[in-house]
């Protein structure tokens, strides 16, 4: 939008740009096109814009042929944009606070590219809100206050700009400082310069693997008091005996004994996370010797065989899937780790696994809750495990007789990184839309469980579960 068009629109709307909402409108059209070009958007892509304002970037984004959904907190601007792009079926505007927007709902539409000239007062929480592993983002392009952009994109260990954002965002994203912009390209002019950053996902093998939960926990602890030595801040996370050998440990990672968090590189943080919670990628060969019961067509035990044999000879055997629901009626899904021999990286039931020889279905379900979600025996008892369906063995279940359980727990969970890359609670309606729109995102066993009448046919399985378990508290 040209400066004159912005002035006219503001006068029409009788709108004085709000400082509180960080309203500084971009009036350089070439720049707007250049910024949007960094998204590499194509017809058919799904874009999400945060804070579209009067639509300077929105117009350029729509010109790429992509679909644009925009989140704007100011009602007058949302109404203005609805009218401005009324003839554009690929445009959708929502009057909402972007921090209140539930990004989990985006899974149903597939990966999105996110962009925005972010309101400076909430840029950091917005980045954490949208660029987390719980959100299906393929790329991000953001205009930020220059100082913040440098902190994320260019900060080196040991500098004052280097912080949690640089490390946590940097682990998943390759961040590039694309250019700086003078205040004069905005109306009104902000007091500080701005800069544009571009985020693209790192390749899976670009950095060593680590337990993401542990990594984020120690990074937050390590930066919680910048003047304090790292050793003191992460003490509680260290395995027994490590603190006494801190000097040796630090030397092994290549930092000094009295280092502070801000002195560690990303790789050193990952190394430390791996010391605290080693990742042991499951070796498919190691588990081939596990012993399972083999059953007949009526699910009666007829003998035993190793896991390897059972799978190689398509023998009937047994498995459980557990779907955990929280108080809001949302279901917890796990993203299988990239090292799993079957269906790596796919979304799956909250917990699932084979029965060991001699085990019954409910025992196996309890064991899986403990092993995969880190629950204590007391928690497993309190969650009221309930069998809600079964699936006969077939080629599609991998010749498994499956019993399906539901369980009540609000999390958070502590999962082993070798099994689970990430996990989160999702509204039932979101999972219904997601499984319908992108079944390829899921392990086939979960899709079969989710198709059971109890989850698929009832108006809202989650709500029913919520009522049923009302009053049940996690310990
Ligand atoms: N994209 C426009 C441009 O480049 O000209 C406007 C950018 S302006 C820096 C930030 C925009 O974010 C404003 O339109 C403001 O109303 C909007 N905004 C502020 N807080 C918001 C929030 N919490 N959620 C969504 N939009 C917000």
| Ramachandran category for residue 320: left, alpha or beta (phi over 0 → left; psi -120 to 50 → alpha) | beta
Paired residues of 193 in beta bridges: none
From the CA of 172, how far away is ligand 1's center (Å)?
Answer: 26
From the CA of 13, how far away is ligand 1's center (Å)?
Answer: 16
Mean pLDDT, the chain, rounded, equals 91
| Model confidence, pTM | 0.86
The residue whose CB lies within 8 Å of the most ligand 1 atoms, and thus the one to mutate among 1, 3, 13, 21, is 21
pLDDT score of 348? 97
pLDDT score of 467? 53
pLDDT band for position 158 (50/70/90)?
Answer: confident
From the CA of 111, how far away is ligand 1's center (Å)?
Answer: 23
pLDDT band for position 366 (50/70/90)?
Answer: very high
Name which residue sits closest to atom 23 of ligand 1, judged by CA.
97
From the CA of 53, how far away is ligand 1's center (Å)?
Answer: 5
pLDDT score of 458? 55
The residue whose CB lies within 8 Å of the most ligand 1 atoms, and thus the one to mutate among 13, 29, 54, 72, is 72
Q: Look at the alpha carbons of 173, 177, 183, 184 in this order and tell me if their dihedral is positive or negative.
A: negative
Which tokens sit at 441? 């995102």
pLDDT band for position 474 (50/70/90)?
Answer: very low
Name which residue sits closest to atom 17 of ligand 1, judged by CA.
51
pLDDT band for position 286 (50/70/90)?
Answer: low
pLDDT in tens, 305-320: 999 999 899 999 999 9
The residue whose CB lies within 8 Å of the most ligand 1 atoms, and thus the one to mutate among 51, 76, 123, 181, is 51
For the chain, domains (ranges, CATH) are 3-201 (3.40.50.150), 212-279 (1.10.8.100), 285-468 (3.90.79.10)
CA–CA distance, 100 with 103 (Å, rounded to integer): 9
User: Is-contact 123 145, C-beta < 8 A?
Assistant: yes
Whether the predicted pLDDT of 322 surpasses 50: yes
**Beta strands in 279-360, from DSSP E residues, in sequence order:** 291-295, 301-306, 317-325, 331-336, 347-348, 351-354
pLDDT in tens, 200-213: 999 878 998 898 88
Whether the predicted pLDDT of 134 surpasses 90: no
Whether the predicted pLDDT of 353 surpasses 90: yes
Q: Which ligand 1 atom is nearest residue 58's CA?
A: 1
Q: Look at the alpha carbons of 396, 398, 401, 402 in this order and tell me if their dihedral is positive or negative.
A: negative
From the CA of 348, how far away is ligand 1's center (Å)?
Answer: 36
From the CA of 51, how far away is ligand 1's center (Å)?
Answer: 3
From the CA of 163, how far away is ligand 1's center (Å)?
Answer: 25
Residue length of the chain? 475
Q: Which ligand 1 atom is nearest residue 23's CA?
A: 8
Q: Which residue has the higher pLDDT, 322 or 290?
A: 322
Mean pLDDT over 74-90 rounds to 97
pLDDT band for position 30 (50/70/90)?
Answer: very high
User: Is-contact 368 324, C-beta < 8 A?
Assistant: no
Measured from the Cβ of residue 418, the count of other Cβ atoms closer than 10 Å reads 17
Whether the predicted pLDDT of 349 surpasses 90: yes
What is the number of H-type helices and E-type strands within the chain?
18, 18
- Kind of pairing between the strands at 46-50 and 67-72: parallel
């Amino acid at each position: 939008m040209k400066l004159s068009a912005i002035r006219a629109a503001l006068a029409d709307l009788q709108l004085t740009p709000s400082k509180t909402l960080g309203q500084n409108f971009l009036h350089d059209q070439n720049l707007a096109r250049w910024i949007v070009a960094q998204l590499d958007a194509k017809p058919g892509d799904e874009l999400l814009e945060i804070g579209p304002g009067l639509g300077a970037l929105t117009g350029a984004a729509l010109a790429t042929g992509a679909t644009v959904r925009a989140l704007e907190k100011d009602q007058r601007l949302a109404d203005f944009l609805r009218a401005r792009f009324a003839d554009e079926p690929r445009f959708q505007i929502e009057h909402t606070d972007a921090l209140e927007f539930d990004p989990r709902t985006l899974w149903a539409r597939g990966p999105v590219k996110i962009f925005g000239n972010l309101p400076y007062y909430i840029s950091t929480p917005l980045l954490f809100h949208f660029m987390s592993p719980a959100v299906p983002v393929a790329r991000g392009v953001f205009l930020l206050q220059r100082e913040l952009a440098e902190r994320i994109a260019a900060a080196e260990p040991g500098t004052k700009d280097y912080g949690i954002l640089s490390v946590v965002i940097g682990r998943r994203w390759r961040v590039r400082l694309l250019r700086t912009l003078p205040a004069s390209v905005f109306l009104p002019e902000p007091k500080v310069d701005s800069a544009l950053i571009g985020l693209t996902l790192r390749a899976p093998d670009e950095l060593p693997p680590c337990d993401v939960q542990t990594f984020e926990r120690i990074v937050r602890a390590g930066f919680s008091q910048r003047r304090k030595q790292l050793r003191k801040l992460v003490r509680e996370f260290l395995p027994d005996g490590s603190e006494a050998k801190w000097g040796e440990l630090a030397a092994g990672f290549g930092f000094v004994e009295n280092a502070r968090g801000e002195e560690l590189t990303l790789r050193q943080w990952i190394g430390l996370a791996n010391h605290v919670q080693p990742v042991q990628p499951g070796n498919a060969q190691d588990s081939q010797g596990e012993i399972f019961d083999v059953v007949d067509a009526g699910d009666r035990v007829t003998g035993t065989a190793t896991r390897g044999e059972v799978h190689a000879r398509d023998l009937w055997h047994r498995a459980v899937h557990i779907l955990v629901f929280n108080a809001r009626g949302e279901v917890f899904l796990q993203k299988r780790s990239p090292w799993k021999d079957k269906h790596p990286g796919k979304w799956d039931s909250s917990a699932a696994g084979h029965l060991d020889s001699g085990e019954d279905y409910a025992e196996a379900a309890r064991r899986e809750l403990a092993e995969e979600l880190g629950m204590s025996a007391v928690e497993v008892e309190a969650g009221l495990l309930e069998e809600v369906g079964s699936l006969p063995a077939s080629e599609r279940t991998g010749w498994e007789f499956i019993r399906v359980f539901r369980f009540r727990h609000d999390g958070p969970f502590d999962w082993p990184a070798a099994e689970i890359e990430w996990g989160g609670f999702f509204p039932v309606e979101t999972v219904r839309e997601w499984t319908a729109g992108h079944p390829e995102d899921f392990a086939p066993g979960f899709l079969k469980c989710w198709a059971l009448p109890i989850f698929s046919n009832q108006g809202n399985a989650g709500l029913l579960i919520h009522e049923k378990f009302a009053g049940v508290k996690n310990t």
